[in-house]
């Protein structure tokens, strides 16, 4: 039933686990960072804000189905093993990403174009709904010492995916020019997803099952339902995990999706090149924050690290009106929001993983993460853009109102995590 040799933690495990989550975030950020390309190709409109809103809806739909994928793949991972999940999620998610780069645009096939893109986003969401939970759990169960710090290996991929997506677009604009990228060059970025799939499968096909999982499965006295454990026995922990993951994701999308796109498309206070540069800087700072988060989680604990990061996230939201000041304002938000998300992200993975027992952990991780991201995070760019739009010709008021969304989430997370007591 299991590929049972003890899996030694090394470069192969690190790279293999990273490739799936790297693909997951590379795909998400191609859609987010390149929102204006997607909007122009598949959701054309005379109003650029309306086109952007349609794109953000499609972006959110991909995340809306992730909870379904989290339930299915989490159940598979806890019942049959983590490696099976990581093989299938990488393959299906990679093919869906590749195909988005092939779909003809709206001018060629009409309504079938956005319909196909939405369907592929749904397929991506379902397949990748279990990727993060399985990858985090695989590292968590393979590492003997410094578990919290080592989770930075997987957590760094969110920034690496963003950095790769933004860098690819910036490079394409430099080589092909803005006009060519807008018409067809953006598709090249989607085709490059095949690299992550091939590298990931090369290592994952060699993965054995984790020893901790095998021992827990062999000593199981009764057949348990991972989904039942998560939603019935550990319901309170799951609510905390959903709030935490949702807030972390909302801060992330505020800093690298909402703020850069609003500054470039709506306010027109930065150029496209400055937009991508700000996103790249966000990603670099976020990677440093991810590593620092692992160190802090080992030294002072996950709760203190998460509360500190939540305060930083609140601070970044309070700076939202600086977008009116041009690139300097956008850069300030990118720096603070990037650090805030990095600090919360590694500690978040450890905090959630430590709440669940072995045979419900993949499900617990996947459900907390994907439900939180679907409810609070993926919807953040759309909700904040809609709030901004309601202010009409008053951008200062609109930006302030939009920031309240992030502020409330950060406060809720600081209180929920700060007052949480683990089961003994």
Q: Is the per-residue pLDDT at 347 higher than 90?
A: yes
- What is the Cα–Cα distance from 356 to 241, expressed in whole angstroms? 11
Q: Report yes or no on 424 lying in a domain.
A: no
- What is the Cα–Cα distance from 418 to 218, expressed in whole angstroms? 36
Helix ranges restricted to H, 254-353 = 259-261, 272-300, 302-318, 327-353
- The pLDDT of 402-408, averaged and rounded, is 95
| Terminal Cα-to-Cα distance of the chain (whole angstroms) | 33
Q: Is the per-residue pLDDT at 424 higher than 70?
A: no
Q: Is the per-residue pLDDT at 251 higher than 70?
A: yes
Q: What is the 3-state secondary structure (H, E, C) of 228-275?
A: HHHHHHCHHHHHHHHHHHHHHHHHHHHHHHHHHHHHHHHCCCCCHHHH
Helix (H) or strand (E) holding 141, with range, is helix 131-142
- The pLDDT of 403-412, averaged and rounded, is 96
For residue 15, name the pLDDT band (cuts at 50, 70, 90). Answer: confident
Q: Report yes or no on 67 lying in a domain.
A: yes
Q: Quick one: 355 exposed, middle or buried, by C-beta within 10 A (0-12, 13-18, 19+)?
A: buried
Look up residue 120 and give its two tokens: 């592929």
Total domains present in the chain: 1
- The pLDDT of 310-329, averaged and rounded, is 93
pLDDT at 48 (0 to 100): 63
Q: Is the dihedral of CA 207, 210, 211, 214 positive or negative?
A: negative
Q: Is the per-residue pLDDT at 257 higher than 60?
A: yes
Tens digits of per-residue pLDDT, 179-219?
Answer: 888 788 888 988 988 888 898 889 888 888 877 888 787 87
- The pLDDT of 94-110, averaged and rounded, is 87
Eight-state DSSP code of residue 321: G
Q: Report yes or no on 423 lying in a domain.
A: no
Closest CA to 127 of 70, 169, 83, 84: 70
CATH code, domain with 340: 1.20.1250.20
Q: Report yes or no on 176 lying in a domain.
A: yes
Q: Is the per-residue pLDDT at 121 higher than 90?
A: no
- What's the full length of the chain, in residues? 424
- What is the Cα–Cα distance from 31 to 49, expressed in whole angstroms? 16
- For residue 49, which phi and psi values (nearest 5 degrees)? -70, -40
Tens digits of per-residue pLDDT, 65-86?
Answer: 888 988 999 888 888 888 888 8
In this prediction the pTM is 0.81
Q: Is the per-residue pLDDT at 178 higher than 90?
A: no
- What is the Cα–Cα distance from 61 to 236, expressed in whole angstroms? 26
- What is the Cα–Cα distance from 235 to 223, expressed in whole angstroms? 19
Tens digits of per-residue pLDDT, 147-159?
Answer: 888 888 888 888 8
Q: How many CB atoms lie within 10 A of CB 110?
A: 11
Q: Report yes or no on 93 lying in a domain.
A: yes
Q: Report yes or no on 180 lying in a domain.
A: yes
For residue 9, name the pLDDT band (cuts at 50, 70, 90). Answer: low
What is the residue whose two structure tokens read 């807030």?
Answer: 247
> Phi-psi region for residue 46, left (φ > 0), alpha (ψ -120 to 50) or beta?
alpha
Q: Report yes or no on 6 lying in a domain.
A: no
- The pLDDT of 248-255, averaged and rounded, is 94
Q: Is the per-residue pLDDT at 291 higher than 60?
A: yes
Segments forming the whole domain that contains residue 220: 11-418
The residues, ordered by sequence, that sit 6+ positions from 387 with a Cβ below 8 Å of its Cβ are 398, 401, 402, 405
- The pLDDT of 111-139, averaged and rounded, is 86
Q: Report yes or no on 136 lying in a domain.
A: yes
pLDDT at 222 (0 to 100): 61
What is the residue whose two structure tokens read 């901790």?
Answer: 212
């Amino acid at each position: 039933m299991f590929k049972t040799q003890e899996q030694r933690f090394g470069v192969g495990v690190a790279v293999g686990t990273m490739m799936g989550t790297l693909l997951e975030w590379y795909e998400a950020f191609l859609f987010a960072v390149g929102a204006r390309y997607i909007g122009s190709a598949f959701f054309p409109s005379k109003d650029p804000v309306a086109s952007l809103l349609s794109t953000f809806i499609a972006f959110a739909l991909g995340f809306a189905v992730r909870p379904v994928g989290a339930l299915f793949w989490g159940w598979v991972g806890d019942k049959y093993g983590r490696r099976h999940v990581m093989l299938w999620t990488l393959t299906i998610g990679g093919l869906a990403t590749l195909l988005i780069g092939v779909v003809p645009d709206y001018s060629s096939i009409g309504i079938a174009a956005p319909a196909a893109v939405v369907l592929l986003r749904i397929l991506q969401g379902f397949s990748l709904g279990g990727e993060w939970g399985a990858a985090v759990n695989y590292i968590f169960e393979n590492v003997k010492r410094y578990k919290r710090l080592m989770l930075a290996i997987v957590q760094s991929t969110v920034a690496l995916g963003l950095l790769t997506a933004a860098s690819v677009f910036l490079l394409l604009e430099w080589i092909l020019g803005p006009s060519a990228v807008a018409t067809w060059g953006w598709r090249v970025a989607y085709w490059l997803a095949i690299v992550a799939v091939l590298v990931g499968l090369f290592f994952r096909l060699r993965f054995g099952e984790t020893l901790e999982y095998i021992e827990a499965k062999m000593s199981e006295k009764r057949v348990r339902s991972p989904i039942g454990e998560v939603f019935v026995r550990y319901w309170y922990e799951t609510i905390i995990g959903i709030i935490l993951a949702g807030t972390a994701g909302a801060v992330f999308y505020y800093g690298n999706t909402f703020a850069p796109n609003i500054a470039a498309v709506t306010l027109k206070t930065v150029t496209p090149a400055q937009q991508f540069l700000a996103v790249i800087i966000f990603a670099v700072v976020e990677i440093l924050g991810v590593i620092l988060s692992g160190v802090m989680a080992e030294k002072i604990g996950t709760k203190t690290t998460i509360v500190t990061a939540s305060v930083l996230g609140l601070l970044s939201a309070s700076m939202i009106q600086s977008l009116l000041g041009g690139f300097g304002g956008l850069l300030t938000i990118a720096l603070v929001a990037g650090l805030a998300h990095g600090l919360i992200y590694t500690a978040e993975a450890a905090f959630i993983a430590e709440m669940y027992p072995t045979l419900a952990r993949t499900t617990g991780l996947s459900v907390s993460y994907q439900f939180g991201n679907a409810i609070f995070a993926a919807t953040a760019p759309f909700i904040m853009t809609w709030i901004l739009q309601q202010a009409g010709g008053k951008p200062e008021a609109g930006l302030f109102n939009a920031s309240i969304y992030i502020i409330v989430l950060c406060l809720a997370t600081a209180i929920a995590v700060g007052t949480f007591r683990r089961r003994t």
